[in-house]
Structure 1
Amino acid sequence: MRYMVAYDLMETMRNTNQWLGASALSFASSPCFSAIPNPALSWMAAWGEVTERTFQRMIVKPDWGIHTVTCEDGKDHLVEVDTVVERPFGDLIHFHVAGRKPQPRRVLLVAPMSGHYATLLRSTVKSLMENCEVYVTDWHNARDIPVSAGKFDVEDYTQYLVDFMRELGNDIHVVAVCQPVPLTLAATAYLAEQDPKAQPSSLTLIGGPVDPDATPTDVTDFGRRVTMGQLEETAIQRVGFKYKGVGRKVYPGLLQLSSFMSMNMERHSKAFADQIGRVAQGDASDHDPHNRFYDEYLAVMDMPAEFYLSTVERIFKNREIAKNAFVVNGHKVDLSKITDVAIKTVEGAKDDISAPGQCIAALDLCTGLDDSKKASHVEPNAGHYGIFAGRSWRNNIRPLVIDFMNSNSRTTAPNQKTAAE
């Protein structure tokens, strides 16, 4: 029960700060002060506006915000988000482009369940939608999932991926980003043994901890230092009475966000101070760089406790994927059984979360895969975020990934010539 009290206390603190911001904005913006040229009131209103928005966005799932896409015909086409498979802990969604012929190149983008929503991959989705049919794993906030839905750990996550791949068929190209990379590799190996005809055409693994010990970082060091007992005692809480998932054990998004912020507190503090100044001077807008970044960065979701703890224990501490000893539903997954799925790894030279070496380890584990079906790329000067979003992704990495898909497609992609041609 004390964990539930702690969860409600964090929510109360968040709600109080949001209220303080709204109150300051309302008070300083009162018409009765309009005739008083006092700059302190402008700064108070600016502080209130930034504070209210900051704490309000923490509990709101961002919208995908992808309403249209410009296709090869030069026209803007409306985009609809359709749910293909609906599950308690996550859905498989499809970005349907109205009025466009279905694209032969179909992509499943596996989003991480690491504290942020799948919308973190918004720019990745938009870039792929230009000439691909894009499907995304849209994970749910654990606080909104009733306890009656049961548990959800790394094995359940892997089984979800297996089911999603089966649903989409073997002409799908899978792209996994960050945290789900090792589990996506395991899901592919599981299919290779249990249902070979459902294996994807290709697998692109971007910046994930297949072997965390290959190149240690602060993230892997933390996993080594903290015992599972300490982690469960300090990080896990029960969802409070306000949400549908009341009583469910979770790793709260607000707790993870505070950890993220504390790692770069000086940088974040300066960013918010500068934003208050811009608002006071009338230079800010809803879609300025600060708001675009923090609207997504501050929107956090709770993770099921079983998933968080099993990730730390089985992926980082025990290195079950790196040792080819991962078990799903009592079945030991053998990565060497992958023989017909082309695999490409992508790493960032300046990635301080999944450093170079952690992801490429997947290629050595797939001993049954011919070298001609293996590829790797290390992007110079790119950090963790840059390898799946931003300039490095758009200009350098995305074209390589598209070429890799075309070279290993079971159907002919647009503008791709066959051998006969």
Structure 2
Amino acid sequence: MWYTFVDAQQRLARALAGGVLSESGPRPCAPAGWLGVEQAADAFGYWLLRSTCAFERTPPFAIHSVVANGSRVAVSESVAASPALGALLRFNREAPTSSADEKRPVLLCAPLAGHHSVMLRETVETLLEERDVFVTDWADARDVPREAGPLALDDYVQALEGFMRTARAFGPPVHVVAICQASVPALGAAALLATDGAAPIASVSLLGGPVDTRLNPTVTDRFASSHTLQWFHDNAIDLVPPPYRGAGRLVYPGFIQQAALFAAHPERHLRLEAEYWSRWLAGDMSGAQQALRTANEYAAVLDMAECYFLDMLRVVFHEHLLPRNLWSVAGRQVRIAALRDTPLCTIEGDSDEITGAGQTHCAHALHEASPMLPRRQFTVERCNHYDLFIGPRWREAVYPGLCEFWRDVEHAALEVRRPRRAVRASASRKSA
């Protein structure tokens, strides 16, 4: 078992880093940009924690305010729900808005694919410029006691159902945005709610989601489909050791995920490191702190429960149950056609190396939406997988496209309500 050995290394790295790091974060440089021993110690300490996946605590979102329309808007963070699988975080803009200008909140479904949801901090900050945001913050499986259950894919779909209902309880229906692997459980949860007659959702948007991996399979798809579930169990699953709360749970460890990510996308890892070190060496401590934060968030990996990991491989990459309309969750069949009255938007990147072309857009064929509903399907040029939710392409192309879609959805909903109001007003006048 490698887990115990790697865990011992991580504890040693934390001890070494703890001896040099400042408790308040990277220390500023002295006047004239002079960099001393203390700054060098900080740089080494954070690099050691990143390279060994040794963060004792997940980096926080720490979003206290955003700039919207030239003004700074305060943001408060709270926990809206906290089942064993994770938490639903609520980011609330503390800015007065008129009812006529009310924008529906966004429920951001973070993928459970090896990273903590804090990797989407930039995504959340961008969304907060106009709307309140809910975020699924999945727990590290090593910290979930075995008594909480196997943490299978069905459990996460049902948790998303609960999160969608919870978000709706705070106000108007939410715009659901699912990123990458979250597209499958989010679609499943939304479809099950629609089948039950619940309506907590204003729209569903899928960004680079593997809805049907049979279409234009990528290297990742081919690797996942060409190895049996038993092979993954024998080569990628390990046992959580004491003293973690999930001791004895079988997991796909975060340190394996970090190695896999580096092997698949070395350029991204090296670019983040180069950005941090170049700014640090240039004496730009403000830029270095921002680059450090981004690098630490990307390095914040987590363990996934064996059941969930193998379920995703089976449902998405081996048996393709969702596009074949053969998927059931806890005995309930997932029928995407039940979302007929829910507007759908799909976004792909033309250079996506993880999700192949058409794998997300194919959701429209399963959806069979009412022709009266807004719907969008667009492919972003010069856009890889991570560009869909982080960086310039996200801010310049993806986010504006989402905003346009949401405006159309809200305008259509307003037009539907107006005739009803007119009828009620007319009936009131006649009775008078």
Count of aligned positions: 399
Q: Would you say the 8 A contact 1:236–1:305 is kept in 2?
A: yes
Answering whether residue 235 of structure 2 is matched by residue 238 of structure 1, we say no
CA distance in 2, matches of 1:283, 1:173: 38
Aligned equivalent of 1:132: 131
Q: Which residue of 1 aligns with 2:90?
A: 94
Question: What is the letter of the counterpart of residue 331 of structure 1?
Answer: R
Amino acid at match of 1:401: L
Give the C-alpha shift of residue 225 in structure 1: 1.8
In the TM superposition, what are the counterparts of 1:61-100 in structure 2 within 5 Å? 61-72=58-69, 74-100=70-96
Name stretches of at least 5 consecutive residues in structure 1 with no aligned partner: 27-40
CA contact (8 A) 2:275 2:291 kept: no
Aligned to 1:152: 151
Which letter does structure 1 place at the counterpart of 2:76? Answer: E
Could you tell me which residue of structure 2 aligns to residue 108 of structure 1? 107
Matched, 1:189 2:191: yes
Deviation at 1:104, TM superposition (A): 3.4
Structure 1 residues 359 and 264, CA gap change in structure 2 (3 angstroms): closer
Is the contact between residue 339 and residue 369 of structure 2 (CA under 8 Å) also seen in structure 1? yes
Change (3 A) 1:338 1:278: closer
Matches within 5 A, 1:179-218: 179-194=181-196, 196-218=197-219
Partner amino acid, structure 1, of 2:406:
M
Residue 35 of structure 1 is matched in structure 2 by none
Q: Give secondary structure in 1 for the equivalent of 2:288.
A: coil
Shift of 1:58: 3.8
Q: Structure 1: how far apart are the matches of 2:13 and 2:303? A: 20
How far did 1:242 drift? 2.4
Contact in 2 for aligned 1:336/1:367 (Cα 8 Å): yes
CA deviation map 1:337-394 (0-9, x unaligned): 2210010100000000012211011011113543854320100000111111221121
Question: Structure with the greater relative contact order (CA < 8 A, sep ≥ 6): 1 or 2?
Answer: 1
Structure 2 CA distance, aligned partners of 1:408 and 1:92? 24
CA distance in 1 between counterparts of 2:396 and 2:9 reads 43
Q: Secondary structure in 1 aligned to 2:92?
A: strand
2:256 paired residue number: 255
Cα gap change, 1:50 to 1:180, in 2 (>3 Å): closer
Which amino acid counterpart does residue 126 of structure 1 have in structure 2?
A: E
Q: 1:12 to 1:395 in 2, by over 3 A?
A: same
Change (3 A) 1:310 1:369: farther
C-alpha separation in 2, matches of 1:186 and 1:94? 22
Are positions 1:350 and 2:351 aligned together? yes
Contact map agreement 2:206 2:345 (CA 8 A) in 1: yes
Instruction: Give the deviation of 1:8 after TM superposition.
Output: 1.5
CA 1:203–1:149: 2 relative to 1, 3 Å: same
Structure 1: how far apart are the matches of 2:20 and 2:401? Answer: 50
> Residue 98 of structure 1: CA displacement?
2.6
1:133-154 Cα offsets, whole Å, 9 max, x none, are: 2111111111111111112121
CA distance in 2, matches of 1:153, 1:128: 30
- CA apart distance, 1:13: 2.0
More displaced stretch, 81-90 vs 266-275: 266-275
Partner of residue 335, structure 2: 334
User: Match for residue 176 of structure 1?
Assistant: 178
Aligned-pair CA distance for 1:216: 0.6
Residue type of the alignment partner of 2:246: G
Aligned to 2:201, the other structure's residue is in SS state: coil
Say if 1:116 and 1:59 are closer, same or farther in 2 by CA, change over 3 A.
farther
Rounded Cα–Cα distance in structure 2 between residues aligned with 1:347 and 1:293: 23
Rounded Cα–Cα distance in structure 2 between residues aligned with 1:233 and 1:330: 29
Hey, what's the Cα distance between the residues in 1 that align with 2:131 and 2:20?
Answer: 47
Amino acid corresponding to residue 159 of structure 2 in structure 1: Y
Superposition pairs for residues 1-80 of structure 1, below 5 Å? Answer: 3=1, 6-19=2-15, 48-49=44-45, 51-54=47-50, 55=52, 58-72=55-69, 74-80=70-76
TM-score, length basis structure 2: 0.82
Relative distance call for 1:339 and 1:294 in structure 2 (3 A) is same
Distance 1:100 1:253, change over 3 A: farther
Instruction: Give distance in 1, aligned partners of 2:385 and 2:199.
Output: 31
Amino acid corresponding to residue 220 of structure 1 in structure 2? D
CA contact (8 A) 1:113 1:179 kept: yes
Aligned to 2:198, what secondary structure does the other structure show?
Answer: helix
Report the Cα distance in structure 1 between the residues aligned to 2:274 and 2:388, rounded to whole angstroms.
Answer: 29
For 1:282-334, what per-residue CA distance to the aligned partner results, in whole angstroms no more than 9, with x for missing partners? Answer: 66668356523321111111111111110011111100112111101112112
- Tell me: CA distance 1:68–1:269, structure 2 relative to 1, closer, same or farther (3 Å): closer
Partner of 2:298: 297
Q: In angstroms, what is the RMSD of aligned CA positions?
A: 3.3
Equivalent position amino acid for 2:174 in 1? I
**Partner amino acid, structure 2, of 1:139:** W
Structure 2 unaligned blocks of 5 or more: 23-36, 422-432
Counterpart code for 2:79: T
Distance in 2 of aligned mates of 1:215 and 1:139: 30
- Alpha-carbon distance change, 407 to 280 in structure 1, aligned in 2, over 3 angstroms: closer
For 1:325, what is the secondary structure of its paired residue? coil
> Which residue identity lines up with residue 75 of structure 2 in the other structure?
V
TM-score with structure 1 length normalisation? 0.84
Residues 60-112 of structure 1: per-residue CA shift (max 9 Å, x gap)? 3111021112345x543332111111211121121022343484322111111
Q: Structure 1's 353 and 98: CA in aligned 2 closer, same or farther, altered over 3 A?
A: same
Secondary structure of the 1:243 match is: coil
Task: Summarize the Cα distance change of 1:264–1:315 in structure 2 as closer, same or farther, 3 Å threshold.
Answer: closer
Larger mean Cα displacement after TM superposition, 48-57 or 216-225? 48-57
Structure 1 residue 268, shift from structure 2 partner:
4.7
Aligned residue identity for 1:393: W
Cα shift at 1:262: 2.9
Q: Distance in 2 between matches of 1:255 and 1:399?
A: 35
Further displaced range: 90-99 or 357-366: 90-99
Q: Find the residue that maps to 1:130 and give its secondary structure.
A: coil
After superposition, the Cα gap between the structure-2 partners of 1:272 and 1:391, relative to the gap in structure 1 and judged at 3 Å, is closer
CA distance in 2 between partners of 1:190 and 1:48 (Å): 49
